[in-house]
């Protein structure tokens, strides 16, 4: 993250729900020699399995000889964060952004303290301000983002200082999923946060899907060094699978049906790795 911040590129963070998505991303990262964060939300890691996710990501990292970092994305409780740390996750995102500021600080502090106690080098991400949407999906209508929910620089400075987190996920006009209306990121706010926060604390952009190439480039230039992509991967995966099922109605071999999905994920991951400037950064 520090290297990305200094050199003005961003580490891609891709959420996965199954083995096919993970392999597609791993192939893209291996081909382009790019470091990648693999994210699993509470629902995704419940489906895959905590320890299974750790083993899979480590194995793919060894196979393709590029650094993959496993992140427990959007963890909503201290207990769940501790479980991810115990399972061997490289990173934990403790998301208490919809709680009161005091509860957010207390819970995040508890996770940071636990990670340090375990001495496994687990990176901890906190979140401040909250997004208008909570789920990575396609919204049919417009989604209104209230500027009052954006991260306030003064609070962010205190939050980082008190909690001791390694990464901060701010609310800067971003939102999860893709809606009918375009996202409008507050680049001035990103710049202000980057200016006022310690350099060792990385800024993370959640809800990246659908933002568009120009916005991503401006966000990176403003100080973002880690970008999350989920919805666009899910769309590529499911659209390819639907087409595969329609073209092969008599096929009953699952791995043959999902091959197009894996290829679609690989192409989409390659696109974002290139866009974020992460090629050859291993």
**Active-site residue numbers?**
73
How far apart (Å, rounded) are the C-alpha atoms in residues 277 and 117? 35
Centroid of chain to Cα 212: 16
How far apart (Å, rounded) are the C-alpha atoms in residues 23 and 61? 11
Could you tell me which of 73, 59, 74, 75 has the C-alpha nearest to residue 22?
59
The alpha-helical segments, DSSP class H, found in the chain are 2-7, 19-32, 42-48, 50-64, 78-87, 101-118, 153-163, 187-196, 213-222, 231-247, 254-275
Phi-psi category of 203—alpha, beta or left, where left has phi over 0 and alpha has psi -120 to 50?
A: beta
Find out whether 153 and 196 touch, Cβ atoms under 8 Å.
Answer: yes
Quick count: other Cβ atoms within 10 Å of Cβ 64?
19
Find the angle CA(187)-CA(138)-CA(72) to the nearest 5 degrees: 70
What tokens appear for 68 in the block? 């993959």
Find out whether 232 and 200 touch, Cβ atoms under 8 Å.
Answer: no
């Amino acid at each position: 993250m520090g290297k990305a911040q200094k050199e003005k590129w961003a580490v891609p963070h891709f959420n996965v729900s199954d083995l096919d998505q993970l392999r597609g991303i791993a192939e893209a990262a291996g081909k382009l020699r790019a470091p990648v964060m693999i994210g699993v939300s509470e629902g995704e890691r419940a489906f895959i399995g905590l320890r299974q996710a750790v083993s899979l990501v480590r194995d793919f990292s060894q196979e393709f000889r590029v650094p993959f970092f496993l992140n427990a994305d959007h963890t909503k409780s201290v207990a769940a964060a501790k479980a991810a740390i115990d399972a061997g996750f490289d990173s934990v995102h403790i998301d208490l952004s919809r709680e009161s500021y005091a509860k957010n600080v207390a819970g995040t502090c508890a996770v940071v303290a636990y990670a340090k106690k375990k001495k496994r080098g687990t990176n901890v991400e906190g979140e401040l301000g909250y997004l208008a949407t909570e789920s990575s999906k396609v919204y049919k209508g417009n989604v209104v983002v209230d500027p009052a929910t954006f991260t306030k620089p003064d609070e962010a400075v205190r939050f980082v200082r008190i909690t001791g987190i390694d990464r901060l996920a701010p609310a800067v006009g971003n939102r999860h999923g893709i809606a009918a209306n375009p996202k409008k990121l507050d680049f001035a706010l990103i710049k202000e946060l980057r200016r006022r926060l310690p350099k060792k604390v990385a800024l993370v952009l959640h809800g990246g899907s659908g933002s568009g190439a120009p916005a991503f480039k401006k966000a990176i230039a403003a100080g973002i060094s880690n970008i999350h992509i989920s919805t666009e991967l899910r769309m590529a995966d499911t659209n390819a699978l639907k087409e595969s099922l329609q073209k092969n109605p008599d096929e009953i071999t699952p791995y043959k049906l999902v091959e197009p999905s894996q290829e679609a994920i690989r192409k989409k991951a390659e696109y974002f790795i290139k866009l974020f400037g992460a090629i050859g950064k291993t």
